[in-house]
Structure 1
Amino acid sequence: MSEVFAIIYSERKPKAVEAAKRTLELLEKNGLKGIAMNAREAVEKKIPSDTDIVIALGGDGTILKVVDAISDDAAILGVNFGHGGYLMEIESGMLEESLKRVIRGEYHVEEVMKLYIKLNNRFVGEALNEAYISSTQSGTILNFKIIQDEVDLFEFPGDALIISTPIGSTAYAYSAGGPILDDRLNAVVLVPVCPLTNVRAIVLSISKPIMVEVLGGGEVQVMIDGWIRRSVKSKKTVLEIERSKKTVKFIRLSDKGGFEKRIRKRFGYED
């Protein structure tokens, strides 16, 4: 096995920092090449393009940063050092044995979708979990209009709108009252946040782009996966969302898929 590894760890979690050192040592003992970076460095400098496998040590936030910094072909093994860890494959106590299995090639790769997002015709980023559209001023009501295939589907006044992927549907969108989507669906869920009308969450196919027109006073912002933020000030803001041509590759060590593990964990059924 000659894969190149990158160990990305949360600098805010001392146990993850220590685990990164142990992981690098184990790789070197097996004659494998690897580098270690904290999540902030990974975002700023990007993960080297020749990386085959990323070992992400932290919480879900670490995974979301890795996704932004990774090359298209690299696969991610998530190791949970956080509280939720819904995107993580294993818990921290399983790190060494799991890494040995990865070195032996005893795993398979699951690919999940991302969203490609533009704001007023300018590329903003790609979302693994969700995009969140709101005013930059807390408490400001905006008017949202949802359009697909040149048809006005619905509109509402409210605080914000969440547009979530299937994998993100167990995260913020679910907490805001949205349904959980199976990862195998080519769909997104749109969740109005504190709407002033009787509108509720809706599931739409993402086989065609979705347009969101936003009207209201002040500055409008879009936040991707909880940390990428862009804002614009204009009379009408247009957000365009479509399925990305790229996917995120997750390493799986069991026959149970990521969706099954994630939904059981969300409902408190620990394996």
Structure 2
Amino acid sequence: MKVRRVGIVAHPSPEVSAGARERLVRELERRGVEVVQGNPAGGAHSELIFVLGGDGTMLRASRMYPESVLLGVNLGKVGFMSGMRPDEMEEGVRRAVEGELYVQEYRKLEVRTGATEPRHAVNDALLVKERPHRLISVGVRVSGDDIGSYMCDGFVAATALGSTAYALSAGGPIVSRNAECYVLVAIAPHTLLSRPLVLGKDDVAELTVLENKNALLSLDGEEPQRITPGESVRVRLSQEKLRIARIDGWSWWEAVRRTFLGAG
């Protein structure tokens, strides 16, 4: 893919992104690349979206341009989803123009509540208690089979990409990006027997809020919606995919090593 038209999504704080944005636009224009700015509709037709920020900005860009290839410039702290560092920006533009980017695909989650249209999450769907000092009871079914009920702070369902985020902090496994599965992890369960579940591409997890306590559902850190007692959240792997570009051929496990072990 040789890029000739791009969009830009930047961290909302000028203190974080302003200098990087000016430098990026200058280099793109120098190489004759059209830059679409401030127009999501126009950006949707861009061949590539440059994302200036950290993983949170990457998630925001994925919601704005769900069908576009994203190339992140890591201005944040973790930057697991980013494809280059700030000092590599000119090299990244060159590789984009000359068709030398590496593009990786990641399956999203499909999440349904009630009879509403499905929504999609790149990283995770979080079902968590509404009141901080109270546990909630959550009933779990997988593909129609009862697994049990859990007293806990909530559950996180995560894609392979999201397995390196909140689910990892909650004790879940890191899942290879090539595995067509997702994970379901209880958060602070009040039991000695709880274990994370790794679910297949056709498995549908159904989480039902039990007893007289509300819960909150948030996808990729977005504003949560209230889930009332008796309501269910249904989760499965989506057919939709996120496409992330990198300027070199990092393998998944090399990215894990670089990000979490600080090696190389």
Q: How does the TM-score come out when normalised to structure 2?
A: 0.92
* Partner Cα separation in structure 2 for residue 261 and residue 229 of structure 1: 33
* Greater alpha carbon shift after TM alignment, 223-232 vs 95-104: 223-232
Where do 5+ consecutive residues of structure 1 fail to align? none
* Partner Cα separation in structure 2 for residue 218 and residue 75 of structure 1: 41
**Aligned positions of 1:1-271 closer than 5 A:** 1=2, 3-12=4-13, 14-37=15-38, 48-72=43-67, 74-123=68-117, 125-198=119-192, 199-233=194-228, 235-257=229-251, 259-271=252-264
The one-letter amino acid paired with 2:30 is: K
- Cα RMSD between the aligned structures? 1.9
From the superposition, tell whether residues 218 and 47 of structure 1 become closer, same or farther in structure 2 (CA, over 3 Å). farther
From the superposition, tell whether residues 265 and 33 of structure 1 become closer, same or farther in structure 2 (CA, over 3 Å). same
Q: Is the 8 A contact 2:66 2:242 kept in 1?
A: no
* Partner Cα separation in structure 1 for residue 142 and residue 243 of structure 2: 28
Q: Is the 8 A contact 2:3 2:48 kept in 1?
A: no
Deviation at 1:13, TM superposition (A): 5.4
Deviation at 1:101, TM superposition (A): 1.1
From the superposition, tell whether residues 197 and 23 of structure 1 become closer, same or farther in structure 2 (CA, over 3 Å). same
The one-letter amino acid paired with 2:222 is: W
Q: Is the 8 A contact 1:8 1:20 kept in 2?
A: no
The one-letter amino acid paired with 1:77 is: L
* Partner Cα separation in structure 1 for residue 176 and residue 89 of structure 2: 28
* Partner Cα separation in structure 2 for residue 250 and residue 264 of structure 1: 18
Runs of 4+ in 1 over 6 A off after TM superposition: none
Number of aligned residues: 262
Where do 5+ consecutive residues of structure 2 fail to align? none
Q: Is the 8 A contact 2:3 2:98 kept in 1?
A: no
Cα deviation 1:52-83 (Å, max 9, x = unaligned): 100001000000001111041x2111110011
The one-letter amino acid paired with 1:267 is: F
The one-letter amino acid paired with 2:54 is: G
* Partner Cα separation in structure 2 for residue 182 and residue 71 of structure 1: 22
Q: Is the 8 A contact 2:204 2:235 kept in 1?
A: yes
SS in structure 2 at match of 1:182? coil
Q: Is the 8 A contact 2:36 2:42 kept in 1?
A: no
* Partner Cα separation in structure 1 for residue 49 and residue 177 of structure 2: 22
* Partner Cα separation in structure 2 for residue 55 and residue 216 of structure 1: 46
* Partner Cα separation in structure 1 for residue 134 and residue 226 of structure 2: 15
Deviation at 1:47, TM superposition (A): 6.5
Q: Is the 8 A contact 1:165 1:187 kept in 2?
A: yes
* Partner Cα separation in structure 1 for residue 81 and residue 191 of structure 2: 33
SS in structure 2 at match of 1:26? helix
* Partner Cα separation in structure 1 for residue 95 and residue 43 of structure 2: 23
Cα deviation 1:169-192 (Å, max 9, x = unaligned): 111111111111111111111111
From the superposition, tell whether residues 265 and 134 of structure 1 become closer, same or farther in structure 2 (CA, over 3 Å). same
Cα deviation 1:213-264 (Å, max 9, x = unaligned): 121323321111122422233x31200112212101111322222x223310
* Greater alpha carbon shift after TM alignment, 27-36 vs 78-87: 27-36
* Partner Cα separation in structure 2 for residue 241 and residue 47 of structure 1: 32
